[in-house]
Amino acid sequence: MSAHPVLQVRDLRVHIRTPRGVVRAVDDVSLDVGHAQAVGVVGESGSGKSVMARAVMGLLPPRSGSSGQVLFRGRDLLSLSRKEKTEVWGKRIAMVFQDPGRSLNPVVRIERQVTEGMRRLLGLNRAEARDRALRLLREVGVPDPERRLRSYPHELSGGMRQRVMIAIALACEPELLIADEPTTALDVTVQRQILDLLRRVQRERGMSLILISHDLAVVAGRTDRVAVMYAGRLAESGSTREVFDAPRHRYTQALLETTPTLDHERHTPLRLIPGSLPDPTSPPRGCRFAARCAYAEAACDDLGPRPAAVGPDHHVACANPAHAPAAAEPPTPRTTRAVGGDSLGG
């Protein structure tokens, strides 16, 4: 971990008021993202991943509130006014959203949508912004960029729209890129292309990256560190290889066991995690995974939300964590059938 992380999330809590009650979407989460580092955030739908990302961006929905700190280069983003946030959006931090079909304006040509931020934030004139837009579209693999600039979003495929969204996010050279489920609704081949593209531009530009996914296989070969979230809390975090090779939290173990592997026997049913996420308006005391965990014990009811260190850079919030492999027998890397990805055993 860098001595001075680009992003430091500290004791972040986000609550959303709903007709059913107050949802504790994010509950006491702390996370660091180092310079030029790729961090994966994974967990089931409803675990709080996207809400955490939106809190970082200052894009929380109405009837919501937050507390804690989100420090970007030491500056608390939660305390900024909307005007001050607009100075950060795009130029310092950018975000690629789940559904490019809904994120792009359907009645505005691609050229205007790609160049708008450059003209407003970088002060480029129309010709300069257009030249830069062409370079960006080429960089993200959009064929015939001259014609695409004249197109409307509905004239592009889902994969092309997502590439345009990535180009828009990169337009003002942000230091941190947040990709929230960037391959939703794309076919497997296009998913791999988009994920490989994100990793490539992140490395080439020396950006920091937060890659959010419900699929562990997506982050397996594309991130340096991984954070596993469950029901609004951080369950486990550490280097991607260590978390995959030697998962200590029972939830992380369960997620990995439900992931198909290359040595999975044919016609063998996949393992499932029994039960479902707890009611977010009335979460249980202690460990929120306890009701679904075969290893739950009395101490789980009193477990606090903050993970404890089980290694130099490995933290787990579990009262009965799995045993680490013996030092003399290093774990065999798991080879996952990644959604378009380099496996950890690659």
For 136-153, what is the mean pLDDT? 96
Residue 164 · residue 110 · CB < 8 Å: yes
For 122-149, what is the mean pLDDT? 96
CATH of residue 199's domain is 3.40.50.300
Residues 81 and 132 in one domain: no
In the chain, the percentage of residues whose pLDDT exceeds 90 is 71
Residue 332: its pLDDT value, please?
A: 45
Residues 141 and 274 in one domain: no
Residues 32 and 83 in one domain: yes
For 126-130, what is the mean pLDDT? 97
Single residue among 173, 200, 221 that ends a domain in this structure: 173
Sign of CA dihedral 285, 24, 232, 74: negative
Residues 38 and 128 in one domain: no
Q: What is the tens place of the pLDDT at every residue in 303-323?
A: 888 899 998 889 999 999 998
For 278-300, what is the mean pLDDT? 92
Whether 337 is covered by a domain: the verdict is yes
Whether 285 is covered by a domain: the verdict is yes
Q: What is the tens place of the pLDDT at every residue in 201-257?
A: 999 999 999 999 988 888 988 999 999 999 999 999 999 999 999 999 999 999 988
pLDDT class for 262, splitting at 50, 70, 90? Answer: low
Residues 66 and 154 in one domain: no
For 111-122, what is the mean pLDDT? 95
Whether 97 is covered by a domain: the verdict is no
pLDDT class for 170, splitting at 50, 70, 90? Answer: very high
Residues 139 and 228 in one domain: no
Residues 243 and 338 in one domain: yes
pLDDT class for 87, splitting at 50, 70, 90? Answer: confident
Residue 344: its pLDDT value, please?
A: 37
Residue 40: its pLDDT value, please?
A: 97
Whether 195 is covered by a domain: the verdict is yes
Residue 3: its pLDDT value, please?
A: 56
For 4-17, what is the mean pLDDT? 95
Pairing assessment for the beta strands 233-239 and 225-230 based on DSSP bridges: antiparallel
Single residue among 141, 173, 205 that ends a domain in this structure: 173
Q: DSSP characters for 93-154?
A: EEEE-S-HHHHS-TTS-HHHHHHHHHHHHS---HHHHHHHHHHHHHHTT-SSHHHHHT--GG
For the chain, the farthest-separated pair of C-alpha atoms sits apart, in whole angstroms, at 67
Residue 339: its pLDDT value, please?
A: 44
Instruction: Put the strands of the sheet holding 314-316 in their side by side order.
Output: 93-96, 176-180, 208-213, 38-42, 225-230, 233-239, 314-316, 308-311
The domain containing residue 114 runs over which residues? 102-173
Residues 334 and 61: their CA atoms lie apart, in Å, by 38
Residues 51 and 109 in one domain: no
Burial class of residue 309, CB neighbours in 10 A (0-12, 13-18, 19+): exposed
Residues 184 and 218 in one domain: yes
Total domains in the fold of the chain = 2
Burial class of residue 112, CB neighbours in 10 A (0-12, 13-18, 19+): middle
Single residue among 123, 142, 173 that ends a domain in this structure: 173
Q: Residue 134 corresponds to which tokens in the numbers above? A: 């062409």
